[in-house]
Structure 1
Amino acid sequence: MFWEHFFRLVKKHAMLFLLIPLICGFGATLIARHEFTSSDPSQNSYYGYKQSILASLGAYAPYAFMEKGGMLDGYIIQLTRAIGREMRARIDIVSRKLDDTQESAIIRDVDVVLCMVQTERTRQYFDFTKPYAINTFTLVKRKGATAPSDYHNAINAGRFVFNTDGAYYELNHEKISNAGLAPTAEDALRMIDSGQYDYTVLENYTAQRIVGMMYLENVEIAGDTDEIVEYSFAVRKGNPELLDIFKRGMVKLQNTGQFSKIQSRWVEKRFLISQSSRNVIMSSIMIGVGISLFVLLLFFVWTVMLQEEVGIRTAELSSEIEVRKKTEAQLLANQAQLIQADKLAAIGTLASGIAHEINNPNGLLLLNISFMKRLSCDLLNKLDEKKQDEEEELAGIPYSMLKEHLPNLLNDMEVASTRIGEIVEDLKDFSRSDDKEWREYFSVNDSVRAALRLLEHNLRKSTSNLEIKLTPGLPKIYGSIQKIEQVVINLILNASQSIDDPSKRISVSTSWNPDRKEVSISVEDEGCGIPKENLPVLRDPFFTTKRDTGGTGLGLSISDTIVKSHRGQLDITSKVGKGTKVTLYLPVLDEAELKDDNEKLS
């Protein structure tokens, strides 16, 4: 209930919920900007990159580093190149490990060391310019160890370790008497990580780079110290002209403003922020980010809920439209079926009247033909007794020929008259209204035979290759014999209309499947076939490919409805150019099954 109420409130006042966090986030950003811009470079130490790029030059970003293409770049590199341009001097930069002051002091093949710290030892070999950069030292400690309040007094307590290649050791080695020594900063950090020592002091940007790269789980940065380290250009002693080039070059760069531009690009105020200011800024940024994420979350929730509502409503509308379309199509189909039923009813009425008019004279013919057969038999017998002349002509026919053919003529007349009576009765049955009292048990063979009698003339015109296979003794099904006859007539008519060559075959057959307890009626032809894409829509109302020749598209639709009302199904298989086979499956139900099935349908 709470969340439902909350989401309703968010939906109702979405803009208010978005506006308040945005204002808070904007305020946090202003606080961070104030702390950022108010930091005083003269009172704060350099705070270098968290992740430095190790270049073969020896210094680390932003002072010097090597790009992916192998080009050297950074604060010192650009400053050196600018001095060369101002003083018209070519300066070739040789890649060295310049943060190792001992190694630098004994290099004999270079004239200038670009990044060097002034110590007692280095001053023996080099002359220095004014410092171009100032950095602080950083106290690094083992996790869990308490940072000393005054590390100067704790240096000789046995818990510190110093790297002998570092600037701090070079500057303060005379003060260090009881501390561990390591050849490199990496070795010193490993000794702290292993628990041998608790503390060390490194240059700020060196500590940031190495701690970040080595991923030591037991080592952390405690904070900046109050000591600084200055970096200068170092010129080998005995080279005053070269020293003058760098000194005057620095002065020119400062006078022209290039020094400030280079410094602001590489060592901006963002590298001159104290630890406390950094903490305030980071806290403000985190608050702003958190608020922004909360706003985005609310906006996302509101958007998702809105999309869900739109999706639900769209689905409802689509469903309503689909139902309406189906209803309209069904109404049209029902209307067409009513029209068709009305036509059939009218035809049935006419057929009943015509059948009555035909039956009366046809009954008289049958009666007279029967009398004439008896009469002709007696006459021929009498004439034979009187030894009638065989060559004498009666009605222009020799007596011998008349005696032979007259019984056959009368039999043919009786058969034809009987055929007329059967056709009339089939028409009357087919046009009879399908009331409930006409539903009965019947054999599908009777329906097929009646359909074939009605379509005999049509089939004679369509094909000379009619094949009929009716399985004898089929179980009877329950339903409307004239409705099943209507389906069979429709299937046979479709088959005959698909044939364009009288030599092609039409096959009508019936069968019984005792396992499935169903009888089947199959109508197969060798006609044009049905395209694959039309098979799924054959039973749809008004679908027809014979509209130009009077097709309504209701034949199979009505037939399918009739079959389903008899609890059966129509199966249609076809291949273009080969023909079509339609099979009608009808279940055989006993009285108990029929009663149970009727109860389910009701």
Structure 2
Amino acid sequence: MKTLLMSLLSLLCFAQLSYAETRLGPSIAAQKRTVHIAADYNYPPYEFIDEDDNPTGYTVELSYAIAEVMGFEINLTMTDWQSAYNGLLNGTFDALQNIAYSDERAQNIIFSPPHSIVNQSLFARKNGPHVDDIQQVSGYEVIVQQGSIMHEYLQRSVPKAIIIPAPTHSAALRLLASGKHDFALTANSPSLYLSKEMGLSNLEPIARPVAGQRLSYGALPKNEELIALFSEGLAILKNTGRQQAIYDKWFGTLEQSKWPWKKIGQYAFYAILALLFILGGIMIWNNMLRKEVERRSKQLKAQQEQLIQADKMASLGVLVSGVAHEINNPTGLLMLNLPILRSAWEDTLPYLDEIDQAQQGISLGGLSYQRLKAEIPYLLDEMQHSTDRIRNIVNDLKDFAREQPDEIWQDVDLNQVTQTAVRLVDKSIRAATDHFTLHLDQRTPHITGNPQRIEQVIINLILNACDALADKSASLTLTTTLNADQEEALIVVEDQGCGIEKEALPRLTEPFFTTKRETGGTGLGLSVSAGIIKAHKGRLSFESTPGQGTTAIVTFPILSSSMP
């Protein structure tokens, strides 16, 4: 009902704009609406002021991106959180871009769908007091950001805690690091970011994190149409992958190692400078010898590139094999434990329903039971999906690293292997297109090789073609044939899909290169296929026109010339 109301309000705004353009002329109607947003100046990497006094961060970029796709302007005010929150309530600001949801706030504020989730952690000095749970801080001095969601949480859930308000996260962490008070209850990502930036090495997160808080856009009920605009813009950015790109830009930095990059950069500069002098001397010496080595340079260069590439691929194979082995163990535990956890939750629901009804509402982990009841299945589904994705990536890595033993080679009927591959992916083909055609050469081409590995190649090419089809009206054709002199057998997969840019065609078989990163591609499928084809003394080539389709051609020597 709320989504329908938001959509109607958006249509009403569009109708009013059209009416204004008709009655007042395009010059007045074309003026964009300006939305006054307030943000916390010290909440990195979500929102903060950089070294040049400019607002920046994940939600700052997100807001400007939403304004761009929805056609309005933003007037952004960077201030402390308490001033921003009070300014929203008294009407000074139209919206906040980074406000956490709570039942108390929802009585006066309306929220957009969440754009991110932040966990709140209890930080302590390494040599200071420690607890195992947030409920154990009763009687301790706990620093929180003034007016934040954790300020409200402590007042409500741990009333005996001695609350020490601080204007910003950095102020709270500095107080704790300097030896004052006992703990700081702050957002995990901003606190880790600030601790790293300020060099507060004596702080560490302890106890179990407080339940994750969903961060959204918030406005007063009178500005409900504004929340509708932000909600629609957020959905557009999510579906186009732009939100994920902005998120990765800012939160990928938290995963970097804690090396002293500034000092390393200085050392690297001097090292590069020395190398430049050495390189200059080598170039002079090389110029003196140019005439002598000119005749052999092309041959030597080609050999060197082949050796380097072979060494790189061998090293990469060893690396991915080890990585796949190490990831398999924790992934197996996840796949084993998630169904048990889901079953336990479902078995517990009747008892929790009875308790919730008897006590007229209960809370678990700081959240209402009814809200947890609605969201936990979704969270478990996301965890299961992510685990399956890890397993698929590990399988791709194992395929990429697998050697091709000679003793597996045998006479292979290419038509029979192709038919088997089609049967295995029949469901995917029928889901992708209503126009699939299979042409099998009546001359029954035979090659020498491993039928299972060749079948794997065909399946991979078919699935790639299915992924490229925009709808079921586009066609997909699979053909086996012989070339003109009947010395080579061909497998041809043609699709009427989205096509591939000319610049990307030479890189399709490179490890980890993919045009489907946003939809879960790992960039290993074609690399594995290319390795299998090469082991069978074959070739893999592509022809493509963007917007019209792609043709993948696999060529094998026929039986008489393919014996190993």
Structure 1 and Structure 2 fold alike (TM over 0.5): no
- Taking CA–CA contacts closer than 8 Å with sequence separation of 6 or more, which of the two structures ends up with the larger relative contact order? 1
User: Which of the two has greater strand per residue?
Assistant: 2
Instruction: Give 1 or 2 for the bigger CA radius of gyration.
Output: 1
Question: What TM-score comes out, normalization by structure 2 length?
Answer: 0.35
Question: What TM-score comes out, normalization by structure 1 length?
Answer: 0.33
